[in-house]
Amino acid sequence: MDQGRAINTQRRYREVLDSYVCPGVGGLTIREATVSRLDRFLKATTAKHGAASAKLAKTVLSAMLGLAARHDAVGANPLRDVAKVPASRKEVRALTVEEAGALRSGLHRWQLDSSPRGRKRPNDLLDVVDVMLATGARIGEALALRWKDVDLRAERPTLTVTGTVIYVSGEGMTIQEHPKSTNSRQRYFLPAFAVEMLLRRQVQQLEANPWDVVFPSSTGTLRDPGNFRKQWRSARDDIGFQWVTPHTFRKSVGTLLANSEGMASASAQPGHSNEQITSRHYVQKTHQAPDMTALLQSFGREVGSL
């Protein structure tokens, strides 16, 4: 595996290799890995496991056969000539300002209510959500936020995304000292609602935790993003936002900024490498043409005047 890649990416590639590539074409020699055979494999993977898995399988195979080509074990990388894996993108859906307000209010009430089984519900899901809404950070980045990354004394308070929470086999949960992408490592100016929440947490946090994180688990350890997602699914179902995932908050930030400040600002906030990524994956389409009625009225002059 490429040691320059993030640990989670390496893990995902290993899963794809073990689950799809090796069972599907692992018995072929390099010379037998022809365009037609690989094309059939990718089409079968798409049909059985979906386009996303097929694309990852193609990426892994391309890296393997690219290495073979560089060492003259094969004349050229056959993955260059296979058919494209068909795109299966879902239309982006983001929260409106009104929906975000309703979600936050509903989540606040949900945290205060006791559960049907008498078990205490987590009381800070809303705080984590507020950090994501205030910055556009990913869930792993929000849970990796440390107090040293937060400056509430500045004239314009900020937080800096410096890493993300990941699971490492044999170690458990740890902080990877860089976020998913290089561009994601940046400082964010905070809106007032996020500043107020962080000040409150700073005052109420009675004991320091070993990682100095802003959002530790109930036992003071790093919070598992997977566990947070489970808690979120339980909450969202109860408050009527079944379609919202943690990544929806990132898309909501992108959509709000794109509609208000333009695509350049929407792309800069989450740290995307280009505006096309933001437009394609993070901004909800309005499906509404601009209001050009005054201009188009020129076509509608009275027939008798022509």
Taking the chain (306 residues) in consecutive chunks of 10 residues, what is each chunk's mean pLDDT? 63 87 91 92 90 90 91 90 81 94 96 72 94 96 96 95 90 87 83 96 87 94 95 95 96 93 89 83 81 82 67
- The pLDDT assigned to 271 comes to 84
Residue 175, classed as helix, strand or coil, is: strand
- The pLDDT assigned to 1 comes to 45
**Nearest-angstrom CA–CA distance, 161 and 188:** 8
CATH 1.10.260 for domain 7-81: no
**Nearest-angstrom CA–CA distance, 184 and 269:** 9
Do 112 and 68 form a contact (C-beta atoms < 8 A)? no
Boundaries of every domain in the chain: 7-81, 97-253
Instruction: Please state the φ and ψ torsions of residue 218, each to the nearest 5 degrees.
Output: -65, -20
- Cα angle 235, 285, 57 (rounded to 5 degrees) comes to 75
What strands lie across the sheet with 158-160, from one edge to the other? 150-151, 158-160, 187-189
| Count of CB atoms situated within 10 Å of the CB of 158 | 16
> Taking Cα atoms as reference points, which of 94, 91, 102 lies closest to residue 248?
94
Task: State the number of CA atoms in the 13 A half-sphere of 85 facing the CB.
Answer: 22
- The pLDDT assigned to 147 comes to 96
Beta-strand relationship, 158-160 and 164-168: unpaired
Whether this model's pTM surpasses 0.85: no
- The pLDDT assigned to 116 comes to 58
Q: What class, spelled out in words, does domain 97-253 have in CATH? A: mainly alpha
Across 99-246, the runs of DSSP E, i.e. the strands, are: 150-151, 158-160, 164-168, 172-176, 187-189
- The pLDDT assigned to 256 comes to 94
Name the residue type at position 156: R
> Taking Cα atoms as reference points, which of 27, 43, 45 lies closest to residue 35?
43
**Nearest-angstrom CA–CA distance, 27 and 37:** 12
- The pLDDT assigned to 305 comes to 63
